[in-house]
Amino acid sequence: MYNYRSLQKNDLETICSFPKSEEELYYMFPKATYPLTPKQIEEAVKSRLEPTVVLFNNEVVSYANFYDHDGESCWLGNVIVSQDYRGKGVSQFLIETMESIAKQNMNVNKLKLVCHNTNTRAILFYKKHGFRPFDISIRVKPSGEFIAGIHMEKIL
């Protein structure tokens, strides 16, 4: 049903259309400025690993990558699914794909991520898929509001 491949330059415009609000973009890419632009993704990818898209009928429907690979673990970042494909199994396929890439290509045994406390749907999704909280950090939304970044990890 779904497949995946590495990010290509012609995917950028489509990915930029996924975050429908400043808050969604913050959840996906806290350092970006709304609206998301291809240039912002291109700059981020320079310091990211394994930028990956999920496809449905050759249409890009989700995106994620890794950062801070230390040999034993890495962090999952820039996770987003097209609004049209939420609740249709894309998130699960994306996470399973990224877990597999982390194990096989990066030889890590632990995958980490940060999920904002105001993103309840994502917190519950990650918990359902075996991620457990291990730390909390202070984050500041573009509005100036303080929120908690919940650090989660999963043994692969």
Question: Are β-strands 3-6 and 59-67 bridged in parallel, bridged antiparallel, or unpaired?
Answer: unpaired
Backbone angles phi, psi at 101, to 5 degrees: -60, -40
The CATH number linked to 145 is 3.40.630.30
Residue 57 lies in domain: 3-155
pLDDT at 13: 98
d(CA 89, CA 43) in angstroms, rounded, equals 29
Average confidence (pLDDT) over 76-104: 98
Instruction: Look up the pTM and report it.
Output: 0.97
pLDDT at 23: 94
Domain count, the chain: 1
Q: How confident is the model at residue 129 (pLDDT cuts 50, 70, 90)?
A: very high
Average confidence (pLDDT) over 49-75: 98
Length of the chain as a residue count: 156
Q: Can you say how many angstroms the Cα of residue 116 is from the centroid of all Cα atoms in its chain?
A: 12
